[in-house]
């Protein structure tokens, strides 16, 4: 193995939308940035949304296989049931000595009862932004977002984050099903006060001018803007982005007050790099960010604790007969239906094949502490029954709030390692009695919406999905004003380490129900600007 030293102004671990927010702000202010990602580059433009491919726009359901293929489970508990049908001559584990297998994130320390069994990481340039749903609601001012920042600052940061992510609310406005679903739900929930009524979901997406039947979903490349073009074109002096480079540890100075350098493994060439920088940023998601701190011996009391996750109530419905029949005579849709029917006489469904999906939500509000998304999504737990037309199916996902609790945590092993030979994570996660009651009320509310829209799709009746599957885990390096109960200060700087900043959902300190990406991008914008401000 050879060792090589590289120098930069800012070293960033993680190339998801949050790492890219740091990169764009810092390069815009004249800093040189070197960014690494443990995963490979999946597209020519760095971190592009893979759903932009024509194929998936024509058939969204095919994309569920892509998502599934990119989700690497973090902690797989041992299976205690013996394989009794195994050939008796085959290798069998000695149960007196071992609790289970240990490779590929199989984790003998994981108690299945308190696991986040579906918690997963997407390796790849762009991280989860290569396949995310792009839902970008703002967090509720009193219920979800942190009171540590004043309201007017939150508004400014949200404005800037929406610009970076290219958020729009109107991209699905023309859709017949969108209008239909929104109206039915507005009828079912007539008393919700503004601005918490049934409405169009804000999404990081835009409809394409050249072909309005297609959209362009935002990825990490959208956040990078022109930098993405430069990286794709191989321009010199732009962002130095290195895929398949794993940051193994950050090495503090002797007094621990700064990070001196990072040790990085080039996975393609099996060589170790020493990266020196003025500032270090870790934005490697809610699991791998605390993992890297742990591996570096940086272990403040709140590390991995106060972990929150959003329980999801889920079902799929098939639209009611009279709603679908009504489309034919609705003057707003009649023309399109006629055109469609004219050319597609064999099609029993009066909805054009390229009618965009519905994208509707009901925001969190004080009497309704849950976030409701009514759309079609490509998650594998919504794979379709083959004999029902996809246009008739609507997904309902209700996301609940779990209040932070220091005992809900991700811990790291000194004995077992994960796929990248880093400390194996183990989860401990339970719901308080209040959390449980809230989720039950949330399920009741989802049933109300589902009944208004249609009947349950067989196999997709209402259920709670496996914990962790929301992929919205927060709090594992939370932001705060007390080093005992938080890991970073309000500038996203790790307490007592002058040049180490963190980004990601792991900073969000409260229980939330709405999608966290927009808020994490907002906090990263603030952190990058504070970092620059301190240097001046």
Would you tell me which residues interact with ligand G3F (CB under 6 A)? 133, 135, 312, 373, 377, 379, 397, 469-472, 515
- DSSP string spanning 253-307? -TTSSSEEEEEEEETTTTEEEEEEEEEEEE-SHHHHHHHHHHHTT---TTTT-S-
| DSSP secondary structure letter of residue 368 | B
- Give the sign of the dihedral formed by CA 446, CA 451, CA 455, CA 461: positive
Compute the least distance from the CB of residue 121 to ligand G3F, in Å. 13
Comparing CB distances to ligand G3F, the nearer of 78 and 311 is 311
Give the CB-nearest residue to ligand G3F. Answer: 133
Contact 122, 72 (CB under 8 A): yes
Comparing CB distances to ligand G3F, the nearer of 177 and 397 is 397
Compute the least distance from the CB of residue 324 to ligand G3F, in Å. 23
Tokens at 308, concatenated: 């929150």
**What are 168's strand-pairing partners?**
203
Compute the least distance from the CB of residue 457 to ligand G3F, in Å. 16
Contact 336, 352 (CB under 8 A): yes
Contact 168, 205 (CB under 8 A): yes
Distance CA 474, CA 508 (A): 6
Place of tokens 């379709």: 384
Contact 439, 400 (CB under 8 A): yes
Comparing CB distances to ligand G3F, the nearer of 145 and 249 is 145
Phi, psi for residue 248 in degrees, rounded to 5: -85, -40
Distant-in-sequence, close-in-space partners of 238: CB < 8 Å, separation ≥ 6: 27, 227, 230, 231
Comparing CB distances to ligand G3F, the nearer of 75 and 515 is 515
Comparing CB distances to ligand G3F, the nearer of 199 and 485 is 199
Distance CA 484, CA 236 (A): 44
Comparing CB distances to ligand G3F, the nearer of 131 and 242 is 131
- Residue 371 a catalytic site member: no
Tallying the residues shown for the chain, one arrives at 536
- Residue 515 a catalytic site member: yes
- 468 torsion bin: left (phi>0), alpha (psi -120 to 50), beta (else): left
- DSSP string spanning 311-332? -EEEEEEEEPHHHHHHHHH-TT
Comparing CB distances to ligand G3F, the nearer of 135 and 449 is 135
Of the candidates 202, 207, 227, which has an alpha carbon nearest to the alpha carbon of residue 217?
207
The β-bridge relationship of strands 33-36 and 240-242 is: parallel
Comparing CB distances to ligand G3F, the nearer of 9 and 61 is 61
Contact 107, 78 (CB under 8 A): yes
Comparing CB distances to ligand G3F, the nearer of 121 and 246 is 121
Comparing CB distances to ligand G3F, the nearer of 176 and 471 is 471
Of the candidates 213, 512, 452, which has an alpha carbon nearest to the alpha carbon of residue 315?
452
Of the candidates 505, 43, 23, which has an alpha carbon nearest to the alpha carbon of residue 224?
23
Q: Which of 166, 472, 499, 506 is catalytic?
A: 472
Classify residue 482 by burial, with Cβ atoms within 10 Å: 0-12, 13-18, 19+: exposed
Distance CA 518, CA 144 (A): 13
Compute the least distance from the CB of residue 100 to ligand G3F, in Å. 27
Compute the least distance from the CB of residue 532 to ligand G3F, in Å. 31
Compute the least distance from the CB of residue 381 to ligand G3F, in Å. 7
Q: Which of 105, 166, 359, 515 is catalytic?
A: 515
Distance CA 147, CA 81 (A): 48
Compute the least distance from the CB of residue 458 to ligand G3F, in Å. 21
- Measure CA 30 to chain center: 29
Distance CA 231, CA 430 (A): 43
Compute the least distance from the CB of residue 96 to ligand G3F, in Å. 40
Distance CA 124, CA 4 (A): 24
Compute the least distance from the CB of residue 9 to ligand G3F, in Å. 33
Place of tokens 């009651």: 437
Compute the least distance from the CB of residue 397 to ligand G3F, in Å. 5
Catalytically active residues, by annotation: 472, 515
């Amino acid at each position: 193995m050879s060792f090589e030293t590289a120098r930069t102004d800012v070293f960033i671990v993680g190339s998801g939308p949050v790492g890219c927010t740091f990169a764009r702000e810092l390069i815009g202010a004249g800093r040189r940035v070197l960014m690494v990602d443990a995963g490979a580059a999946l597209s020519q433009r760095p971190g592009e949304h893979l759903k932009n491919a024509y194929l998936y726009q024509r058939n969204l359901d095919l994309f569920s296989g892509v998502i599934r293929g990119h989700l690497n489970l973090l902690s797989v508990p041992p299976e205690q049931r013996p394989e009794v049908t195994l050939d008796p001559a085959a290798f069998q584990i000695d149960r007196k000595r071992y609790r289970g297998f240990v490779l590929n994130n199989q984790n003998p320390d994981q108690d299945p009862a308190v696991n986040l069994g579906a918690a997963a990481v997407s390796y790849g340039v762009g991280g989860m932004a290569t396949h995310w749903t792009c839902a970008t609601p703002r967090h509720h001012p009193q219920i979800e977002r942190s009171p540590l920042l004043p309201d007017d600052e939150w508004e400014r940061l949200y404005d800037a984050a929406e610009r970076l992510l290219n958020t729009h609310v109107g991209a699905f406005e023309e859709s017949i099903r969108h209008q239909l679903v929104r109206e039915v739900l507005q009828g079912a929930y007539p008393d919700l006060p503004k601005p918490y009524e049934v409405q169009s979901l804000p999404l990081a997406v835009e409809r394409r001018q050249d072909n309005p039947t297609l959209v362009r979903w935002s990825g990490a490349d959208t956040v990078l803007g022109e930098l993405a073009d430069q990286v794709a074109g191989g321009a010199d002096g732009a962002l130095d982005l290195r895929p398949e480079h794993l940051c193994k540890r950050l090495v503090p100075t002797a007094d621990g007050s700064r990070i001196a350098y990072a040790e990085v493994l080039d996975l393609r060439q099996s060589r170790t790099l020493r990266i020196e920088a003025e500032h270090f940023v870790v934005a490697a998601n809610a699991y791998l960010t605390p993992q890297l701190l742990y591996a570096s011996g940086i272990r403040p009391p709140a590390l991995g604790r106060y972990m929150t996750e959003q329980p999801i109530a889920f079902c799929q419905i098939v639209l009611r007969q009279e709603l679908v029949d009504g489309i034919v005579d609705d003057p707003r849709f009649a023309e399109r239906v006629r055109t469609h029917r004219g050319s597609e006489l064999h099609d029993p469904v009066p909805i054009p094949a390229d009618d965009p999906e519905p994208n509707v939500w009901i925001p969190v509000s004080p009497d309704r502490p849950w976030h409701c998304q009514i759309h079609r999504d490509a998650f594998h737990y919504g794979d379709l029954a083959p004999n029902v037309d996809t246009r008739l199916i609507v997904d309902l996902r209700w996301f609940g709030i779990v209040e932070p609790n220091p005992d809900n945590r991700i811990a790291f092993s000194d004995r077992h390692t994960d796929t990248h030979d880093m400390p194996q994570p183990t989860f401990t996660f339970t719901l308080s009695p209040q959390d449980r009651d809230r989720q039950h009320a949330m399920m009741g509310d989802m049933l109300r919406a589902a009944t208004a829209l249609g009947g349950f799709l067989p196999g997709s009746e209402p259920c709670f999905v496996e914990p962790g599957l929301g992929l919205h885990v927060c709090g594992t390096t939370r932001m705060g004003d007390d080093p005992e109960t938080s890991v970073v200060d309000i500038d996203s700087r790790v307490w007592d380490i002058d040049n180490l900043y963190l980004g990601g959902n792991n900073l969000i300190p409260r229980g939330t129900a709405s999608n966290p990406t927009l808020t994490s991008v907002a906090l990263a914008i603030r952190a990058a600007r504070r970092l620059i401000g301190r240097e001046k």
